[in-house]
Amino acid sequence: MIIGLTGKNASGKGAVLEFLRERSFYAFSLSDALRSELAARKLPLTRDNLIALGTELRREFGNGVLAERILEELEEEKNYIVDSFRHPVEVETFRRRGDFILLNVHADDRIRFERIASRGRENDPRKLEEFLKLEAQEAKSDNAFAQQLDATIARADYTVENNGSFEELHRSVVSIIQIAAKKQKRPDWDTYFMKIAKVVALRSNCIKRKVAAVIVKDKRIISTGYNGTPRGVKNCNEGGCPRCNSLSSQGEHLDKCLCSHAEENAITQAAYHGVSIKGAALYSTFSPCLMCTKMIINSGITEVVFDDRYSIDDTSLNLLKEAGIKVRSLRAT
């Protein structure tokens, strides 16, 4: 999951970030790009400079620029805590990921001012009225490229109060994480196995098309295969297959192709290692050709699930159905 943090100055966003960082969340901030840019320009790292630079970058590259830069670094399988959401478009950019929630960290004005005052920094406001006046200027703006903190906070999925102790804050955060975790969507089995097949396809050495198959039994992968030249033969992308390297049109000179197909390799790999595939399901990134279809039928595989479809495979699909093998296309669901 991705937990985004928003909230007013000294509300405790940093404390939430550190708490989750210590619990295996990977930490980022939308301000990281601003800090790097300020350093490159040899400008001091001040709140005013961060705000001004953020406005400049949004004007030049769009309001989602900071969010886009961070999203490029995030991987699907990890949990993240991302600080400093200050514009609604940044929130909407992250919402493209279905595992994103925005958390608003809230604390009363006087408590936040006392936290600021306790830091004793030279440029911090000395009075509560001055603090609130400055904050009001940052909360919203007629400039569409300036930070819009109030509008961002209004888009939060959850608000955690931080007027008490760290222990109270931590308990609130844990409660929200537990709620969010229950709402997370895991990929179904079809998606799971087909995504694995697509990763297997990256191993293909075929110069024309990368295809892969995985054979599954009892929700366990027992064999994988990708297309390419046979074991011990020069790889297709190194010139091993004359047909592929001449970029022959689809369906032409198939008798000249030296590459083994993904389904063929998955089946023969199981045989090579003495693994029974009777009653198994085969997931393939493409529907099988006629040769692979006959191997599938005779190997005892009982189900074929494919993603893309070859334009020359009607005979294959009809033969699979005639043999009583269940055939499903994920593109049709």
Give per-residue pLDDT as tens, 251-300.
Answer: 655 666 767 899 999 999 999 999 999 999 999 999 999 999 999 999 99
pLDDT one-digit tens code per residue, 24-50: 999 999 888 888 889 988 998 888 888
Helix ranges (H only) for the chain are: 13-21, 32-40, 47-61, 65-71, 88-94, 109-119, 128-139, 149-153, 166-183, 189-201, 242-245, 262-272, 290-299, 314-322
Q: What is the pLDDT of residue 240?
A: 66
- Greater pLDDT, 101 or 313: 101
CB 206 within 8 Å of CB 265: no
Question: Is a pLDDT exceeding 90 seen at residue 310?
Answer: no
Rounded distance, CA 80 to CA 149, Å?
21
- pTM exceeds 0.95, yes or no: no
Residue tagged 């198994």 (tokens): 280
Average pLDDT over the chain, rounded to whole? 89
Residue range 85-108: mean pLDDT, rounded = 94
Catalytic residues: 263
Q: Confidence class of residue 134 from pLDDT cuts 50, 70 and 90?
A: confident
Q: Confidence class of residue 328 from pLDDT cuts 50, 70 and 90?
A: very high
Q: What is the pLDDT of residue 311?
A: 65
Here the tokens at position 289 are 């050709």
CB 34 within 8 Å of CB 53: yes
Label residue 235 exposed, middle or buried (CB < 10 Å: 0-12, 13-18, 19+).
middle
Question: Is a pLDDT exceeding 70 seen at residue 313?
Answer: no
Rounded distance, CA 111 to CA 157, Å?
23
Question: Is a pLDDT exceeding 60 seen at residue 59?
Answer: yes
CB 328 within 8 Å of CB 303: yes
Question: Is a pLDDT exceeding 80 seen at residue 318?
Answer: yes
Q: Concatenated DSSP letters for 54-83?
A: HHHHHHHH-TTHHHHHHHTT--TTS-EEEE
